[in-house]
Amino acid sequence: MIINRKSTDGLRFGPLQKVLSVMLLATGMVIAGVLIQQLIGQIYYHRAQNRLHNGEPAMAIQLLSQAVRYMPQSDSVHKLLGRGYQQAGSQEQNKQKAWSLTLQSKACFRKALTLNPLDAETAYCLALVEARLERLFPLIQPQRRFNPFKALPRFDEAIRLFPNAPGYHLAKARYVHRQNRPELLHTTVQSLIRIYPGGYTQLAKERFWSESVKMAAKAGLQQAISDGIDLRTAHEKLSDLLVTEENWSDALEHYRRAIEVPTATNTSGDYCHLGWLYLKNARYTEAEIWFFTCLDTSHDRERDISDICREYQPVGAEALMAFFTGVRGRYPLTTKMELALARSLIALKHINQAEDILIALAQRDPSSANVHYLLSRIAEIQKDWDRMELAIQKATVLDPTNLQYRQIFYDLLKRMGKLSAAEQELDRIIAATQNPGLQILEERAQMRWNRKDYPGAIQGWEEGLKIAPTRANLHANIAEAHIKLGNLKQAIAHYQKALTLDPQNKQYQQKIRDLDA
């Protein structure tokens, strides 16, 4: 076999080629090493994330300390480590340990911000930690007057990096409120509401909410409208604010503008609210128009009619009946709709009109427990106890699981002196209650005592002891029942248990002496 020497000579590597090969191999190994380090660091990082999510900051800190070894220039790792120390510090009860953990949290956030100066979230976390250190400092070093920690510049930096973050503005508002800086609080609130009109709802629940803060929020909403920011929400929230001032005409105007925003998606509830505002402005014709628009678009007409009837109650029965006449002409009526009208008429003290509606309903729909319940309410107003008893009893028969009806029936029977029937009704209430409380068990025991059913009373108070075994008075009550039965030994035993639970009770001490004698 003849070998072609030219072809074999071409496969030989020269010195330069060997050097290049070695360099490429070394570079590849370095890159592979870096990638492996990154991979190991990411594994620690993600495991730490899960630990923090589960509320285990100590384990997260351990894992992130390993992640830092493999990814020392990762701002994400330092930021998460800062959160770990932050969470651990917030859970720590010891002030000194909480202080130390919070300082470590600050150091981690500062390192992360150095690595990524444009990360607004890190700047915000640093502001929160600085604010906590500012609060802790007087507790840790009470002898020092000057507090070196100032969170305000930190909040301003976070807001500079992310101006439209509502949460940052709200946190700053809470901070300046604690610092007792009302003017800065007002400007912060105004800025927050301007960029996020929907924040008005949350602001109104804040501890710092006041008349002056409300005025700042009002200015923010007006500015948002002027700048065209979220017009639907801005008009709607400004209307809500004006309602609190009982400025009904302006509240109506802004809500009307809210639902007329071209991008708005209106619901039946929006139309109902607009109708209510027309009612508050005594513009009854327009109110009816919007209430019927609500009902035409409603997915639950019975519920909406019930809501609208309640809105008419402050206006009066005449306007209510005019509206309901329109309802009768437009929609097929159901029992629930008629019941809504009857409830409102009862609230308006138009008892005869309500009663006529309910009697007609009872004939048309005899299975409605609600009808008989409302008839019982009318009888109660008229102080016709026999008629009330009959009506509420029918309601409990038609809806035996309704504990409200049963409670009314029980209270009525007790008031009428029908104690045996009342106890039976109370037994049904207790049987239908998943976890009957001590009060209702004591009530049944007391009722048995009043009927001189002393064994039954003892049983009732013993059931109470299962719920509240440290209640001394239950043992005392049982002791008194045993005295009535002539069981003096049992009486003494229970009074001794009562005295053990309430050693200073002189009445128990005297009872034991009397029984021993």
pLDDT tens for each residue of 227-249: 999 999 999 999 999 999 999 99
Q: CATH topology of 39-140+147-162 equal to that of 453-517? A: yes
The CATH number, out of the four listed (1.20.950.20, 1.25.40.10, 2.30.110.10, 1.10.490.10), of the domain defined by the range 453-517:
1.25.40.10
Tens-digit pLDDT profile for residues 115-135? 999 999 999 999 999 999 999
- Helix, strand, coil percent values for the chain (each to nearest 5): 80, 0, 20
Which CATH number does 39-140+147-162 carry? 1.25.40.10
Distant-in-sequence, close-in-space partners of 48: CB < 8 Å, separation ≥ 6? 59, 60, 61, 63, 64, 67, 80, 84
The CATH number for 268-363, chosen from 1.10.1200, 1.10.287, 1.25.40, 1.10.3470, is 1.25.40
pLDDT confidence bin for 8, thresholds 50/70/90: very low
Question: Does residue 5 carry a pLDDT above 50?
Answer: no
Given a contact cutoff of 8 angstroms between Cβ atoms, the answer to whether 434 and 428 are in contact is no
The predicted pLDDT at position 3 comes to 43
Report yes or no: 124 and 171 within 8 Å, Cβ to Cβ: yes
Sign of CA dihedral 114, 117, 122, 127: positive
Give the range among 167-171, 207-211, 386-390, 437-441 with minimum mean pLDDT: 437-441
* 148-187 pLDDT per residue, tens: 999 999 999 999 999 999 999 999 999 999 999 999 999 9
Helices 301-312 and 335-347: crossing angle, nearest 10°? 10
Which residue do the tokens 């991979």 mark?
Answer: 39
pLDDT tier at 18 (50, 70, 90 boundaries)?
Answer: low
Here the tokens at position 212 are 């002056």
CA distances from 84 to 45, 59, 60, 89, 140 (A): 12, 9, 6, 9, 22
Average model confidence (pLDDT) across the chain = 91
Q: Is the CATH number of domain 366-434 1.10.357.10?
A: no
Domain 192-265 CATH class label:
mainly alpha
Please spell the DSSP secondary structure of 225-283, one letter per residue. Answer: HHTTSSHHHHHHHHHHHHHHTT-HHHHHHHHHHHHTSTT----HHHHHHHHHHHHHTT-
Q: What are phi and psi of 242, to 5 degrees?
A: -65, -30
pLDDT of residue 40: 84
**Number of CB atoms found within 10 A of residue 325's CB:** 10
> Would the CA dihedral through 172, 177, 179, 185 be positive or negative?
positive
Please, is 418 exposed, middle or buried when counting C-beta atoms within 10 Å of its C-beta (0-12, 13-18, 19+)?
A: middle
**CA dist., res. 46 & res. 42, Å (int):** 6
Domain boundaries along the sequence of the chain = 39-140+147-162, 192-265, 268-363, 366-434, 453-517
Residue 8 falls in which region: left (phi positive, over 0), alpha (psi -120 to 50) or beta? alpha
Name the band, by pLDDT with cuts 50, 70 and 90, for residue 26. Answer: low
Cα–chain-centroid distance for residue 228? 32
For 257, half-sphere exposure in the C-beta direction (CA atoms, 13 angstrom radius) is: 17
**Residue 418 DSSP symbol:** -
Q: How far apart are CA 328 and CA 338, in angstroms?
A: 10
Query: Do residues 106 and 93 touch, judged by C-beta distance below 8 A?
Result: no
Residue 412 has a CB neighbour count (10 Å cut-off) of: 21
Express each pLDDT in 454-499 by its tens digit. 999 999 999 999 999 999 999 999 999 999 999 999 999 999 999 9
pLDDT at 2: 45
Per-residue pLDDT tens for 437-455? 899 999 999 999 988 999 9
Read off the amino acid at residue 303. R
